């Protein structure tokens, strides 16, 4: 018989400590939907998505009931649309509208893949797709977009970095009435991964199978609660506690992924071993760092705590599942984490500190509200810095900043739900415009030559 203590522990994790499966994301290849006629291509895209994902939400809800674990999001990711739209000589926004329609039909809350991969240069269709992103995001509600501008293997495409600064601004400008929400659905990556189940950066990579299920787990609240029981433990002990907790969290992800894959008849891809926070109190990565002994997230010592946390999460999760992928690590989205919001509002957490934290966490500068008058070249500079950290450290980094057009420093943008709310944070006003204006490619680092 199962141990009573174990049963109650599981129930407490779910009931009181916000343990959940953050997302089941179905990746769908649209390679077979390519057509030179955009209307025909869109029809095929709609048909394929709704055919593959028709049972996704119902199946997810069934598994939720069966195991008593909440599965917060059911989502879709598709082949980067720049590839699908390359053959059409038409505005690709139609694809975004089609994705929106298909997502609504399937009942999922977000669909990712209005994306382009331009780390080494623009191929046919890439630039046109990128320029259409602001309009695509403004005319849809659940379509998410991402652009990969660099990688350790290729270096950083500075022409794309320059372009993206303006695109991020426009995405915010076109959605001023929705508190600049467009920019919250757009991620600029370095070393983007093909099997990421998390939004807004999910897309279905070109080397992936036709259709696949990826799972993203969560559980910052569980880790914090576990650490709370050992107020005087040394760091080795803390790392061990995190590993054990991460193991348990990840096991549930594996169980749900395998079950979903069986029920849907779709292969199981990966578990993304992540600590993904939500704005709910008690579901915060910042509070874990503070539990380790920081007065406020962002103070000296934050990067070291985060590095330890990130590493322990991976070590604990590795043995718990058959295949690991996605972004895997601790996320630090400011607006989606109650502790980060509080730290930013108190002035303890600054963008410069967040940048340092991105060198040791799962992704990058995420969900950060910046002043609405931040020039495009400053945003490009932020993207370039972040991409450089990713390129040199062989890790995924990303920038998802939201220029608060029409708001002032100290104001708060509030989108509600999982996206949360964020105060406008200070940005260095000196200009990198000469550097950004040069264009070209930052060469790949020496350690990219592995062969």
Partner 1 sequence: MKAVITVIGKDAVGILAKVSAICAENNANVIEVTQSVLQDMFAMIMLVDITAISSDFVELQDSLTALGDSLGLKIHTMHEDIFNTMHRI
Q: List interacting residues with partner 1 (CB under 8 A).
A: 1-4, 6-11, 15, 62, 65-69, 248, 251-252, 254-255, 319
Match 């989205």 to its residue by tokens.
333
Residue placing its CB nearer to partner 1 in the complex, 211 or 320: 320
Residue placing its CB nearer to partner 1 in the complex, 312 or 384: 312
- Give the relative orientation of helices 302-318 and 235-264 as an angle to the nearest 10 degrees: 50
Structure tokens, 263: 């029920």
CA dihedral over 252, 331, 202, 149, signed as positive or negative: negative
Return d(Cα 353, Cα 356) in angstroms, integer.
Answer: 5
Residue placing its CB nearer to partner 1 in the complex, 254 or 362: 254
Q: Which segments of 143-255 are extended strands (E)?
A: 143-151, 155-157, 186-190, 211-217
Tell me the closest approach of the beta carbon of residue 264 to partner 1, in angstroms.
Answer: 18
Tell me the closest approach of the beta carbon of residue 7 to partner 1, in angstroms.
Answer: 6
Residue placing its CB nearer to partner 1 in the complex, 4 or 300: 4
CA distances from 34 to 31, 184, 194, 428 (A): 6, 28, 19, 44
Tell me the closest approach of the beta carbon of residue 269 to partner 1, in angstroms.
Answer: 18
Tell me the closest approach of the beta carbon of residue 217 to partner 1, in angstroms.
Answer: 12
Return d(Cα 300, Cα 294) in angstroms, integer.
Answer: 8
Whether 432 and 136 have beta carbons less than 8 Å apart is answered as no
Residue placing its CB nearer to partner 1 in the complex, 5 or 430: 5
Tell me 151's DSSP state: E
Tell me the closest approach of the beta carbon of residue 199 to partner 1, in angstroms.
Answer: 25
Return d(Cα 49, Cα 246) in angstroms, integer.
Answer: 33
Tell me the closest approach of the beta carbon of residue 4 to partner 1, in angstroms.
Answer: 6
Residue placing its CB nearer to partner 1 in the complex, 9 or 345: 9
Match 């204006």 to its residue by tokens.
437
């Amino acid at each position: 018989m199962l141990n009573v203590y174990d049963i109650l522990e599981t129930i407490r994790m779910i009931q009181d400590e916000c343990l959940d499966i953050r997302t089941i994301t179905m990746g769908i290849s649209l390679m077979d939907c390519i057509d030179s006629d955009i209307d025909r291509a869109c029809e095929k895209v709609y048909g394929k998505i709704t055919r593959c994902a028709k049972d996704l939400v119902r199946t997810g809800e069934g598994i939720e009931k069966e195991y008593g674990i909440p599965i917060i999001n059911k989502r879709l990711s598709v082949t980067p649309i720049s590839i699908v739209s390359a053959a059409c000589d038409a505005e690709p926004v139609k694809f975004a509208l089609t994705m929106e329609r298909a997502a609504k039909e399937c009942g999922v809350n977000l669909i990712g893949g209005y994306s382009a991969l331009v780390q080494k240069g623009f191929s046919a269709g890439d630039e046109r797709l990128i320029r259409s992103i602001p309009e695509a995001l403004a005319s849809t509600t659940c379509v998410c977009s991402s652009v990969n501008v660099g990688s350790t293997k290729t270096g950083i495409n500075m022409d794309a970095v320059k372009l993206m600064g303006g695109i991020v601004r426009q995405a915010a400008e076109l959605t001023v009435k929705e508190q600049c929400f467009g920019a919250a659905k757009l991620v600029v990556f370095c070393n983007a991964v093909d099997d990421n189940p998390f939004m807004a950066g999910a897309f279905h990579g070109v080397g992936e199978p036709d259709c696949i299920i990826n799972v993203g787990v969560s559980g910052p609240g569980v880790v914090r609660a576990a650490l709370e029981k050992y107020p005087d433990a040394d760091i080795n002990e803390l790392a061990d506690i995190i590993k054990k907790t991460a193991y348990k969290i990840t096991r549930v992800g594996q169980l749900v992924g395998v079950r979903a894959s069986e029920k849907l008849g779709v292969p199981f891809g990966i578990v993304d071993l992540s600590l993904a926070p939500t704005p709910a109190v008690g579901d915060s990565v910042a509070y874990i760092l503070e539990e380790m002994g920081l007065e406020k997230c962002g103070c000296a010592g934050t990067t070291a705590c985060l590095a330890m946390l990130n590493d322990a999460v991976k070590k604990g999760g590795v043995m718990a599942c058959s295949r690991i992928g996605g972004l895997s690590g601790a996320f630090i989205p400011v607006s989606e984490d109650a502790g980060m919001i509080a730290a930013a509002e108190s002035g303890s957490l600054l963008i410069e500190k967040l940048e340092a934290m991105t060198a040791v966490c799962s992704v990058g500068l995420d969900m950060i509200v910046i002043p609405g008058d931040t020039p495009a070249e400053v945003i490009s500079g932020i993207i370039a810095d972040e991409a450089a950290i990713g390129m040199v450290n062989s890790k995924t980094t990303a920038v998802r900043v939201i220029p608060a057009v029409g708001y002032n420093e100290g104001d708060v943008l509030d989108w509600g739900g999982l996206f949360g709310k964020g105060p406008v944070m200070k940005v260095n006003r000196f200009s990198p415009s000469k550097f950004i204006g040069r264009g070209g490619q930052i060469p790949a680092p020496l350690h990219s030559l592995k062969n």
